[in-house]
């Protein structure tokens, strides 16, 4: 096993829709394709088996190249908590863990997103190199998820796309 470090990204977002709607957005392939990873225009495929032990996959095509995001569902407690793995095999063999917790509120819900990010070390890295990589991975992930959550909020609230189908 290669040497690695971890960093934790925690983000909180408020949605003016029910926790059930937000939970479904993480699991419904039609909805996933609209916001998760990038956008519906570039997402080529979104599939999943929404159960503990089931898998998910999104394939995004940009500039003629396919990018895959894959994972496995580890825990589902509808509509309060979802835990799954996240891997992009074209970039790394590392597997991050993501936890999504939803708290119902009078005016919607609050989502807390936690990503345990694995940062592999390159040979001969110094402590300074490791610290720099941890910051870069954290900030890069935060930027990407922030863009996705903006899209998710717009889809759920402004267009109020509802995917009520039980998964």
Q: What is the C-alpha to C-alpha distance for residues 2 and 122, in angstroms, rounded to an integer?
A: 9
Instruction: Classify residue 64 as left (phi > 0), alpha (psi -120 to 50) or beta.
Output: left
Q: In angstroms, what is the C-alpha Rg of the chain? A: 16
Residue-wise pLDDT for 87-121, tens only, equals 999 988 999 999 999 999 999 999 999 999 999 99
Note the pLDDT tens digit of each residue in 3-15: 999 999 999 999 9
Residue 83 included in any domain: yes
98, part of any domain:
yes
pTM of structure: 0.91
Looking at the domain assignment, is residue 72 inside a domain? Answer: yes
Residue 167 has pLDDT above 70, yes or no: no
Task: Read off the pLDDT of residues 135-151 as tens digits, 9 standing for 90 and up.
Answer: 999 999 999 999 999 99
Q: What was the pLDDT predicted at 2?
A: 65
CATH number of the domain within which 65 lies? 3.30.530.20
Q: Residue 73 domain-assigned?
A: yes
């Amino acid at each position: 096993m290669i040497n690695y470090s971890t960093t934790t990204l925690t983000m909180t977002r408020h949605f003016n829709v029910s926790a059930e709607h937000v939970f479904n957005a993480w699991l419904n392939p039609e909805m996933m394709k609209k916001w998760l990873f990038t956008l519906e225009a570039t997402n080529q495929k979104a599939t999943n088996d929404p159960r503990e032990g089931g898998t998910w996959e999104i394939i995004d095509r940009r500039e003629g190249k396919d990018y895959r995001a894959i994972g496995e569902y580890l825990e589902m407690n509808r509509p309060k908590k979802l835990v799954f793995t996240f891997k992009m095999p074209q970039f790394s063999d590392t597997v991050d863990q993501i936890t999504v917790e939803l708290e119902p509120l009078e005016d919607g819900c609050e989502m807390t997103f936690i990503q345990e990010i694995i940062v592999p070390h390159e040979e001969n890295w110094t402590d300074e190199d490791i610290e720099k990589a941890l910051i870069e991975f954290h900030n890069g992930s935060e930027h990407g998820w922030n863009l996705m959550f903006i899209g998710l909020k717009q889809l759920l609230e402004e267009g109020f796309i509802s995917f009520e189908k039980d998964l």
